[in-house]
Amino acid sequence: MKQRQDITYVYDGSYEGMLTCVFRCYEDKFIPAQVLVQPSLLPYSRIFTDKSKAARVTRGVARTMGRMAENVIRTVYLADNEQKEMAVIRFVVYGMAAGEHACRDLAHPDVAEVYELFRAVNREKRMCMERLKFSVIGDVLVSVVAPTHNVLPLIAPHFVQRFPNEDIFIYDKAHKLGLTYSHGRTQITQIENFEPAEADEDEETYRRLWKIFFDTVEIKERHNPRCQKNHMPGRYSNFWSA
C-alpha cells in the first residue's frame, strides 16, 4: 500500500479509534503520512471511532496474522509514543499480506519497528512491577507511580494474583489513571488528582525497618552507587512510597 504524504488522520486516542484508522487505510487504499490525536494546523481527515470496523480489524488480524499479532497491537497501543499508530498500520498492512509469518519476520523493518515498541512497553511493565512499593493506608495497599507507558492494564493481573484478599489502589500520575481492586473486581478509571493520606504509626514502623534492612544489607567493601543507579533510574525514585 502506498503512503500519501499529504494525508493526516486525526482520531480520539482510543484503542477502537486506532483500529478504525487501520480500517480506513483499507477503504482509502493508501497509508497516511501521520496519525494524530490532537488536530494539527494542516489539513487532516477526522477518523470517527467505529466499534464494528475496529472489531473487523481485530478479527482479520487474529485470523490472518495470529493471536500473537493481536497481543502485540494491544500492547503497543499502551505506548507513550507518537509513532505508535503508524507503526501499527504498517505492521498490519505488511502482516495482512504476509500472513502468520509476519510475527516471525523479525528482521523486516515494519515488524522490527512494532516489536521495538512492544518490547519497550513490556520493559516498562517489568520495571513498574519491580520498583513499585505500597503503603498500607487505612488497610488499603496504595501506590503512586509515573511510568513512561500506560502499563496499569498490564500490571493489574500480577497484583491481583498476589494480593487477592487485599484492597489495592495504584495511581498512575503520568496518565492520570487509577487502578482499583476490591472484592474481586478490578477497574481502571480516569482520576485527575490523587494525594495519599499520611502514613500512620504502623506504616512508619515498617518503612523504618525496611530502611534499616536496605542500608545494612549493602556490603560496604563493594560500594558501587553507579551500578545501583543504573538499575534504579531516577524516575523510579518516586515509586518508593505513596
Partner 1 sequence: MTTEEKLKILTDGAKYDAACTSSGVERSACAGGIGSANSGGICHAFSADGRCISLLKILMSNACCYDCAYCVNRVSNDVPRATFTPEEIATLTINLYRRYYIEGLFLSSGVLGSADNTAQLMIKALEILRVKYRFCGYIHAKAIPGTSPQLLQRLGELADRMSSNIELPSSRSLKLLAPDKERRDVLAPMGFIRDKKAEGNKNFVRAGQSTQMIIGATPESDLNIITLAQGLYRTYGLKRVFFSAYIPVAENSLLPALDSKPPLLREHRLYQADWLMRFYDFKAEELLDESRPYFNEFLDPKCNWAVNHPEVFPVDVNRASYKTLLRVPGVGVVSARRIMVARRQRRLDAAALARLGVVMKRAKYFIDGAAGIKLRAADDPAAVTRELIRGENARQLSLFDDMPAGVRAIEGKGGENK
- Positions touching partner 1 (CB under 8 A) are 101, 104-109, 112, 129-136, 141, 143, 158, 161-166, 206, 208-210, 212-228, 230-232
Question: To 10 degrees, what angle do helices 51-64 and 67-77 make?
Answer: 130
CA dihedral 92, 94, 98, 99 (to 10 degrees): 0
Smallest gap from residue 24 Cβ to partner 1 (A) = 28
CA dist 11 and 231 (Å) reads 37
Smallest gap from residue 163 Cβ to partner 1 (A) = 6
Quick one: 55 or 209, whose CB is closer to partner 1? 209
Quick one: 28 or 166, whose CB is closer to partner 1? 166
- Which residue matches cell numbers 503520512? 33
Smallest gap from residue 176 Cβ to partner 1 (A) = 22
Query: How far is C-alpha 96 from the chain's CA centre?
Result: 25
- Which residue matches cell numbers 488522520? 9
Smallest gap from residue 141 Cβ to partner 1 (A) = 7
- Who contacts 205 (Cβ-Cβ below 8 Å, separation ≥6)? none
Quick one: 158 or 176, whose CB is closer to partner 1? 158
Quick one: 23 or 171, whose CB is closer to partner 1? 171
Looking at residue 196, the DSSP 8-state letter turns out to be P
- Who contacts 57 (Cβ-Cβ below 8 Å, separation ≥6)? 19, 20, 22, 23, 92
Smallest gap from residue 33 Cβ to partner 1 (A) = 24
Smallest gap from residue 135 Cβ to partner 1 (A) = 7
Nearest to 101 by CA among 51, 66, 62: 66
Quick one: 228 or 238, whose CB is closer to partner 1? 228
Quick one: 51 or 67, whose CB is closer to partner 1? 67
Rounded CA Rg of the chain: 22
Q: 185-190 and 140-145 as β-strands: parallel, antiparallel, unpaired? A: unpaired
